[in-house]
């Protein structure tokens, strides 16, 4: 039994909140606090009446004093940050000021540089440790479940993992020529940046979308996928002893890539502010305003996602290959919680991470990435709460 303060009321938060309410034995009380209070109230109106008591509040998560006051009033056991990566450090500051455990799904990114790295959050480690509070970083799907899968593979299947390929396939079709499945600003910043992978202890940089492969995904079929930089590569490179290479691939359809290229070519994906009719505007933020709201894609999206990890390494001196993945159906998710699978596959692990920190199963004062914890309770919870995993000992490999 515990109390969680959930910050944000967007696509991912909505799923996590539905799941907290399904899991009322763990979450007997939640507060939903976000910039736009009406979105928090709408979620409360939809979910009120169950065993989880719900309150709402308005908060600017960039204002540490406001956050600190809110935490002091509500006294949660855990703060689940489902706002945007820009808010991470402010929310961590408020957790430190109030000695409250912290969970998020995406690492800090400064608003003026499209560069996501863990260094800013890792710098809080000693202060969290001294305060006796736990920070769990990256409890979504990727990062999140991919880190739990890695810890599980290392614990049960390998002595050493040498090669890891993370494959993120979304075969959902929303019927629009161009839309992003989660926050467009974050999504476009991620895919228009240079790619990179981790090899023999250092980064190898690629041009955006330079490396393409085709992979035959279980339950989906062959899809084009492209190598991207992704945040979990940084922590897994540190936390998997003996790892030689980690790569991350995401599938994109041709229509998405053609639109993105065109938007890039005309300057619409830039994060440099420009003067427009006497006002400064950021082209990417303007683009976000004209694109479909990811939350509106739920009813339209059909098809499946398949996200997983292919491991290669050694067990008892012999070579071994192992694939762990989850397949999730957009329409099933929509039926259950009113959101498509991209929000679902992030919101469910966010709820599970908050539960394990809150009930003390994952107590580890300091700032920790998800793969640093015992994976077994999380793996069980995935099966129980809607993201069952599958495994294979002889997957198709990525060349
Ligand atoms: P949305 O844009 O749908 O939701 C973000 C929410 O945060 C909105 O409710 C927004 O308020 C609120 N917010 C933004 N700024 C502030 C602020 N200063 N103070 C208070 N609230 C604020 O994003 P998503 O739900 O798609 O994504 C949420 C997080 O999940 C992101 O960090 C994203 O990077 C991460 N993510 C992680 C994944 C993973 O697998 N690890 C996958 C997908 C997403 P308002 O309604 O007013 O705009």
Q: What is the pLDDT of residues 26-64, one digit of tens each?
A: 999 999 999 999 999 999 999 999 999 999 999 999 999
Q: For 347-396, how does the pLDDT look when each residue is reduced to its tens digit (9 = 90+)?
A: 999 999 999 999 999 999 999 999 999 999 999 999 999 999 999 999 99
Measured in angstroms, how far is the CA atom of residue 82 from the centroid of ligand 1?
5
By the 8 A CB rule, do 120 and 153 touch?
no
| pLDDT confidence of residue 293 | 87
Q: Which atom of ligand 1 is nearest to the CA of 142?
A: 40
CB 386 less than 6 A from any atom of ligand 1:
no
Q: Which atom of ligand 1 is nearest to the CA of 144?
A: 41
CB 375 less than 6 A from any atom of ligand 1:
no
User: Which of 5, 7, 8 to mutate to test ligand 1, by most ligand atoms within 8 A of the CB atom?
Assistant: 8
CB 150 less than 6 A from any atom of ligand 1:
no
CB 230 less than 6 A from any atom of ligand 1:
no
As a whole number, the mean pLDDT across the chain is 95
State both tokens at 162: 């040498």
Shortest-distance Cα residue to atom 2 of ligand 1: 183
State both tokens at 107: 């690492």
Q: Which atom of ligand 1 is nearest to the CA of 87?
A: 18
Q: Which atom of ligand 1 is nearest to the CA of 138?
A: 41
CB 307 less than 6 A from any atom of ligand 1:
no
By the 8 A CB rule, do 254 and 206 touch?
no
Q: For 213-225, how does the pLDDT look when each residue is reduced to its tens digit (9 = 90+)?
A: 999 999 999 999 9
User: What would the mean pLDDT of 75-100 be, rounded to a whole number?
Assistant: 97
| pLDDT confidence of residue 48 | 97
Q: For 121-140, how does the pLDDT look when each residue is reduced to its tens digit (9 = 90+)?
A: 999 999 999 999 999 999 99
User: What would the mean pLDDT of 65-92 be, rounded to a whole number?
Assistant: 97
User: Which of 31, 68, 183 to mutate to test ligand 1, by most ligand atoms within 8 A of the CB atom?
Assistant: 183
Per-residue pLDDT at 188 exceeds 90: no
CB 144 less than 6 A from any atom of ligand 1:
yes
Q: For 198-211, how does the pLDDT look when each residue is reduced to its tens digit (9 = 90+)?
A: 999 999 999 999 99
CB 181 less than 6 A from any atom of ligand 1:
no
Measured in angstroms, how far is the CA atom of residue 231 from the centroid of ligand 1?
17
User: What would the mean pLDDT of 5-29 be, rounded to a whole number?
Assistant: 97
CB 67 less than 6 A from any atom of ligand 1:
no
């Amino acid at each position: 039994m515990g109390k969680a303060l959930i910050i944000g009321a967007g696509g991912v938060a909505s799923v996590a909140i539905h799941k907290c309410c399904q899991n009322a034995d763990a979450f007997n009380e939640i507060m939903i606090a976000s910039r736009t209070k009406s979105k928090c109230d709408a979620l409360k109106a939809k979910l009120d009446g169950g065993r989880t008591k719900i309150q709402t509040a308005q908060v600017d998560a960039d204002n540490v004093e406001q956050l600190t006051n809110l935490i002091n009033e509500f006294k949660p056991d855990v703060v689940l940050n489902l706002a945007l990566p820009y808010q991470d450090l402010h929310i961590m500051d408020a957790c430190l000021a109030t000695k409250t455990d912290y969970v998020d799904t995406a690492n800090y990114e400064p608003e003026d540089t499209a560069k996501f790295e863990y260094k800013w959050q890792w710098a809080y480690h000693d202060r969290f440790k001294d305060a006796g509070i736990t920070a769990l970083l990256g409890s979504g799907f990727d990062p999140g479940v991919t880190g739990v899968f890695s810890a599980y593979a290392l614990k049960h299947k390998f002595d050493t993992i040498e090669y890891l390929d993370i494959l993120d396939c979304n075969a959902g079709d929303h019927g629009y020529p161009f839309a992003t499945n989660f926050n467009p600003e974050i999504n476009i910043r991620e895919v228009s940046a240079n790619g990179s992978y981790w090899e023999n202890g250092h980064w190898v940089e690629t041009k955006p979308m330079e490396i393409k492969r085709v992979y035959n995904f279980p339950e989906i079929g062959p899809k084009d996928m492209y190598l991207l930089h992704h945040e979990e590569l940084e922590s897994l490179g540190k936390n998997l002893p003996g790892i030689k290479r980690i790569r991350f691939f995401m599938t994109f359809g041709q229509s998405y890539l053609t639109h993105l290229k065109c938007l890039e070519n005309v300057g619409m994906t830039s994060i440099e502010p420009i003067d427009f009719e006497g006002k400064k505007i950021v082209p990417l933020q303007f683009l976000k305003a004209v694109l479909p709201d990811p939350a509106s894609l739920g009813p339209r999206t059909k098809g499946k996602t398949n996200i997983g990890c292919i491991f290669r390494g050694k067990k008892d001196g012999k070579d071994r290959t192992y694939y762990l993945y989850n397949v999730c159906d957009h329409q099933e998710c929509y039926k259950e919680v009113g959101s498509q699978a991209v929000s679902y596959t992030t919101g469910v692990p966010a709820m599970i991470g908050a539960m394990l920190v809150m009930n003390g199963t994952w107590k580890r004062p300091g700032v920790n990435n998800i793969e640093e914890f015992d994976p077994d309770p999380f793996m069980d919870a995935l099966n129980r709460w809607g993201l069952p995993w599958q495994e294979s000992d002889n997957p198709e490999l990525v060349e």
